C-alpha cells in the first residue's frame, strides 16, 4: 500500500508533472496504514501552501503575505464604506485612493487604498486603525481553487450514464470557462470579467462542467453565469474582484452560486456574503483540502454558506478534506472526470469538485433569489442526504451524502475492475 504514496504526492503537488508523465490518478486501497493516512491529511494543506508560496515568490512585485502567510495584493488596503473625514485623514497621512467601487445591487461601497511607499499592509492597517477606529479595513486577499487536476490530454472517460439531466440556471465564480467544450454542449454560458479578454482555465472549466454540464456530452439546456476573477493575472482571485463578480451575479438575479475557492477570513468577503444572503442568493462553497486539523477556510466557514466536503468511491471522506462546523454536505470528490480546455477531459480530486455537484442540486430547488432561500434549500437537501458517520449531522459529513448518482456519470477508468 505504501507504493501508492510517492505517486499520489507527485500528482497532488504537481498535476501538470503527472500529466506530462502520462500517469493516471491512483485508486487508493481501503484501510490505509496510519502513517499513509496522516501524510495524506497533511498533503492537501501543503498543496495550498506550496501554491501560495510559489505565488508570493514569483510575483513578489505584486503580492505580499498577511500574518498567516496568505497572499494578498501588495500595498493595497480595502476600506468598506469609509466616511469622508477619515478618508481625507488617511490621504493626508500618505495613503492614495486607487479605485472606488459602488456595488449598487449589494448596497456596498468599497475604496481601495495604496499604502505609503515602503509600508507593508500589516503596518498600514495599524495606522488606519488609529486614524479611523470605527472603520473597516482589511487586506485585498487572494482566494485559490480547492482541488487538483491531472491526466493526459486526449484521454476519454468510460461511457457513464447517458441520461440527460434537466438544465439549471446557476452561477460560478472561478477561472475562465471553455464554453465550447462538448460537456457544456447546449448550455448557454454567459461570461463576465477580464474586460472581455478572459481565457479558458483548467480549474474553472472543470468545475463548470460538473456544475452545469452533461457527462454524456449531449445537449441538455440550462444557463451558466461564469465570472472569471483570475484573468491570468498575478493578482487574480482578489477579494475585490470577487466583490465585482458578486455584484454582476446579483444584477443577473442568479439564485445559486458555486464558490470552489478558499482563503482566509476577510471583512469585505464577510460583508459580501451577508449582502448576497440578504438578497436571497444561495452560496455553495468548497470547505477546502487542508486536512482535519486545519483552521476553517472561507467563504465556506461563514454562517449560511452551504459548505461541501468530498468523499471517494467508497464514500470515505477524503483524508485531506477539512472537518468542522462549516461542513453541511458531502459529495463525490475523487475518481471523477471533468472538462479540460480544448475539448479533453481530466481526472479531478478535491472539495472543489464536490461543491458543484451540490450546487446544481440547489439550483434545481430555487429559480430566483428570494428571502430565506438558503434555509429552504438546506432543508430540502438535508431531507435527501444519506447519513454517513455518526447518526445525524456531524463535522465530517454534515447532513450526509448528496449526488452519489453523479459518480456513475462522471466516473474515471479507476472505477472499472
Active-site positions read 174, 203, 352
Please tell me the total number of residues recorded for the chain in this structure.
Answer: 417
Q: In the numeric block, which cell numbers belong to residue 313?
A: 468511491
Report d(CA 283, CA 374) in Å as an integer.
8
Burial of 28 (0-12, 13-18, 19+ CB in 10 A): buried
Report d(CA 215, CA 36) in Å as an integer.
32
Burial of 307 (0-12, 13-18, 19+ CB in 10 A): buried
Task: Provide long-range contacts, Cβ within 8 A and 24+ apart, for 403-408.
Answer: 403/331, 403/332, 403/354, 403/357, 403/358, 403/360, 403/361, 404/315, 404/331, 404/332, 405/161, 406/210, 406/331, 406/332, 406/357, 407/313, 407/332, 407/335, 407/336, 408/160, 408/161
Report d(CA 37, CA 333) in Å as an integer.
17
Report d(CA 165, CA 184) in Å as an integer.
12
DSSP string covering 273-299: HHHHHHTT-EEEEE--SS-TTSPP-BT
DSSP string covering 261-272: EEB---HHHHHH
Cβ–Cβ under 8 Å, residues 359 and 211: yes
Q: Which residue reads 477546502 in cell numbers? A: 288
Q: Tell me if the bond preceding 299 is cis, omega within 30° of 0.
A: yes
Q: In the numeric block, which cell numbers belong to residue 14?
A: 504537481
Q: At what angle do helices 34-58 and 4-13 cross, to 10 degrees?
A: 20
Amino acid at each position: 500500500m505504501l507504493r501508492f504514496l510517492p505517486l499520489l504526492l507527485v500528482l497532488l503537488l504537481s498535476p501538470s508533472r503527472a500529466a506530462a508523465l502520462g500517469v493516471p490518478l491512483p485508486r487508493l486501497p481501503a484501510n490505509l496504514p496510519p502513517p499513509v493516512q496522516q501524510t495524506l491529511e497533511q498533503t492537501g494543506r501543503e498543496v495550498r501552501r506550496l501554491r501560495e508560496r510559489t505565488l508570493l515568490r514569483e510575483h513578489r512585485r505584486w503580492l505580499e503575505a498577511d500574518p498567516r502567510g496568505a497572499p494578498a495584493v501588495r500595498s493595497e488596503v480595502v476600506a468598506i464604506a469609509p466616511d469622508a473625514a477619515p478618508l481625507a485623514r488617511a490621504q493626508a497621512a500618505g495613503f492614495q485612493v486607487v479605485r472606488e467601487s459602488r456595488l449598487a445591487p449589494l448596497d456596498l461601497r468599497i475604496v481601495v487604498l495604496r499604502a505609503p511607499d515602503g509600508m507593508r499592509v500589516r503596518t498600514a492597517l495599524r495606522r488606519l486603525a488609529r486614524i479611523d477606529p470605527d472603520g473597516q479595513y482589511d487586506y485585498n486577499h487572494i482566494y485559490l481553487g480547492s482541488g487538483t487536476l491531472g491526466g493526459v490530454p486526449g484521454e476519454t472517460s468510460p461511457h457513464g450514464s447517458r441520461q440527460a439531466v434537466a438544465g439549471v440556471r446557476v452561477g460560478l465564480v472561478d477561472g475562465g470557462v471553455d464554453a465550447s467544450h462538448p460537456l457544456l454542449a447546449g448550455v448557454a454560458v454567459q461570461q463576465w470579467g477580464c474586460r472581455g479578454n478572459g481565457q479558458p482555465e483548467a480549474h474553472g472549466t472543470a468545475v463548470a462542467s460538473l456544475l452545469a454540464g452533461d457527462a454524456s456530452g449531449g445537449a441538455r439546456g440550462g444557463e451558466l453565469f461564469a465570472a472569471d476573477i483570475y484573468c491570468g493575472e498575478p493578482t487574480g482571485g482578489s477579494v475585490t474582484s470577487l466583490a465585482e463578480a458578486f455584484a454582476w451575479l446579483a444584477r443577473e438575479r442568479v439564485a445559486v452560486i458555486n464558490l470552489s475557492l478558499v482563503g482566509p477570513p476577510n471583512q469585505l468577503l464577510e460583508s459580501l456574503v451577508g449582502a448576497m444572503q440578504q438578497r436571497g442568493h444561495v452560496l455553495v462553497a468548497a470547505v477546502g483540502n487542508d486536512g482535519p486539523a486545519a483552521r476553517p477556510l472561507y467563504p465556506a466557514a461563514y454562517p449560511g454558506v452551504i459548505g461541501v466536503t468530498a468523499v471517494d468511491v467508497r464514500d470515505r471522506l477524503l483524508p485531506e478534506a477539512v472537518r468542522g462546523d462549516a461542513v453541511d454536505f458531502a459529495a463525490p470528490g475523487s475518481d471523477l472526470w471533468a472538462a479540460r480546455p480544448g475539448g479533453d477531459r481530466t481526472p479531478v480530486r478535491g472539495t472543489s469538485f464536490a461543491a458543484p455537484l451540490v450546487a446544481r442540486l440547489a439550483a434545481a430547488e430555487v429559480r430566483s433569489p428570494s428571502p430565506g432561500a438558503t434555509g429552504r434549500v438546506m432543508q430540502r437537501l438535508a431531507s435527501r442526504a444519506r447519513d454517513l458517520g455518526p447518526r445525524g449531522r456531524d463535522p465530517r459529513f454534515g447532513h450526509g451524502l448528496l449526488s452519489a448518482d453523479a459518480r456513475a456519470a462522471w466516473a474515471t477508468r479507476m472505477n472499472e475492475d
